[in-house]
Amino acid sequence: MLTAEEFAICCRELAEKSTAFPGFEWIIHECKNRGTLVIRRTEVCAEMRREFHVCYDEIYKVPLLLFNAWHPDGKLFSLEEVWATVSEAEASRLKFDPWTMITQQEHPIFRTPWYCLHPCKTESILTLLRLSISQKRNCVLSWLSVVASVVGLEMPMQMFCEQ
Amino acid sequence: MEDSAVRRQVWEGRVPVCFCASSNEFTCIERPKNIYMLVPRNSYFPLVTGKVFKYIATFVEPPFETEFWLEYNGIPLRWYYPVGLLFDLMKQGSSDLWQITVHVKDYPRDELFACSSLQVVEAHFIQTVKQADQIKHRSRVMNSIQKHGQKQLWNAMVTSRFDQFWEVNRLLMQNSEDEPIRHLPIKLFNKDYAFVQRLWPAYKSDGKDGELTKASDLLKLAGDRLGQLPIDNVTLLCQGVTVPAEAPLLWLYLNMSCPDNFLYVCALEINK
């Protein structure tokens, strides 16, 4: 479990660290009257534009990875198109229970539809991470190293190394 | 705290709806007729609009790339919210006929979730029940309910079977020494789709024997998250009923929640 304050500290550290990796920067988006923040990153290539947000889920008290993808003409990817971008390792699990892994959810800040990995398993991931790594590690960054590959979010390896 | 008569009445709530086809999306001379329906408050539009859409589809010319969606006063209706909540939000406490426009093209993907099948609705429903139990019991109860119990919640909701639903839901609503409810799954809405969701405490102070929080505490606890809404000029609406300021939140939650286990409260500004 993660408090909102811990989440904010981890996100600021993560964003600061990412400035050393051009093209992989995370930008902080402050939410004034919510006492919280979101970090976001945008990727653009010939086939699509994608935006990733990491928010704090107040119900499960865990970080939440939200993302959307748009075609070059600005049309939002459908759920089936998003599933097609998921890593092969997760594809078999998708076939078993596709609706519970990646679904649309309202963005906690913007209240618009975004795709997300369901947060109900994140707590067990964080628990395992905390058991296996030093307390000084950034747990949002560690969690991101686990879930980023699921949604095809590239992260430079050096970001996960100790500085 | 439990009041089965109130629960039954909440379950049987209906809103009067008139579905009208959008006037500028049909090229043929004959227009679809309006369809009138009493829609269960605690259901979801995709569960009741199958026949409406099928009828309107007969007026659509090929190619059939139709994506039906509903709109009221220019606002796309979020099908994943309970019907009664949408009614209270859109009609601001009025109870007269709700005239809803049915669109057949230009699905507003940036505002509405896709709804390709009833499985999507079911998945959303179960996910919401899980969120509610995370708030109440840290997911212990929902984790102990087998898959067929979750299926029973959904099936009973779809087929409007009260006793079958509460056979399972009583577990999720238990508030006992073993499974006390400390926080309440409540969404407090403003007049548009903005809502506040936080850990609403069931008691004013720690401990089960403390004083219960009241409906009037909602606005204080919401703080400035609900925007610039003057507290003195606000009335609270829940399941279409004005909520007394002194009503205990725990009682409201246990008896007037939607089947997804959330209590939806609308903060309406009183007209001067």
B55: domain CATH number?
3.10.20.620
Is the ipTM higher than 0.85? The answer is: no
Q: Which tokens in the block code for residue A41?
A: 């990153």
B71 touches B110 (CB < 8 A): no
Shortest CB distance from A104 goes to which of B114, B119, B195?
A: B114
Same domain as B99, residue B28 = yes
Same domain as B168, residue B208 = no
What is the domain range of residue A117?
Answer: 4-155
Q: Which tokens in the block code for residue A115?
A: 């795709």
Same domain as B158, residue B138 = yes
Element containing residue A39 per DSSP (H, E): strand A36-44
The DSSP letter of residue A76 is: B
Q: What is the DSSP string of A53-101?
A: EEEEETTTTEEEEEEEEE-TTSPBPPHHHHHHTS-HHHHHHHHHSHHHH
What is the domain range of residue B195?
Answer: 180-271
Mean of per-residue pLDDT scores for chain A: 79
| A162: in domain | no
Q: Is B106 on the interface with A (CB under 8 A)?
A: no
| B63: in domain | yes
Domain count along chain B: 3
CA distance A82 to chain B (A): 12
Task: Say whether A59 and B135 touch across the interface (CB within 8 A).
Answer: yes
Same domain as B188, residue B170 = no
Q: What is the pLDDT of residues A121-145, one digit of tens each?
A: 676 777 777 666 565 568 888 888 8
Shortest CB distance from A78 goes to which of B114, B134, B197?
A: B114
Q: What is the pLDDT of residues A74-84, one digit of tens each?
A: 878 887 788 67
Task: Report how far residue B157's alpha carbon sits from residue B151's, in angstroms, rounded to the nearest whole number.
Answer: 10
| A chain contacts of residue B113, beta-carbon cutoff 8 Å | 104, 113
| B chain contacts of residue A113, beta-carbon cutoff 8 Å | 109-114
Task: Say whether B139 and A76 touch across the interface (CB within 8 A).
Answer: no
**Phi, psi for residue B247 in degrees, rounded to 5:** -65, 130
Residue-level pLDDT, tens digit, chain B, 272 residues: 889 999 988 999 989 999 999 877 776 677 688 999 999 999 999 999 998 998 998 888 677 556 789 999 899 999 999 999 999 989 878 888 998 999 988 899 788 998 888 888 999 899 899 889 999 997 989 989 977 899 899 999 999 989 989 999 989 998 887 889 978 999 999 766 778 877 789 988 766 568 888 898 888 788 766 665 566 678 898 999 999 998 999 999 999 999 999 999 999 877 64
Shortest CB distance from B120 goes to which of A60, A75, A99?
A: A99
| B chain contacts of residue A79, beta-carbon cutoff 8 Å | 114, 116
CA distance B30 to chain A (A): 32
Domain count along chain A: 1
Query: Which residues of A are known to be catalytic?
Result: 120
Nearest to B126 by CA among B160, B100, B149, B96: B149
Label the pairing between strands B14-21 and B35-40.
antiparallel
If you average pLDDT over residues A19-46, what whole number do you get? 82
Single-letter code of the amino acid located at A132: S
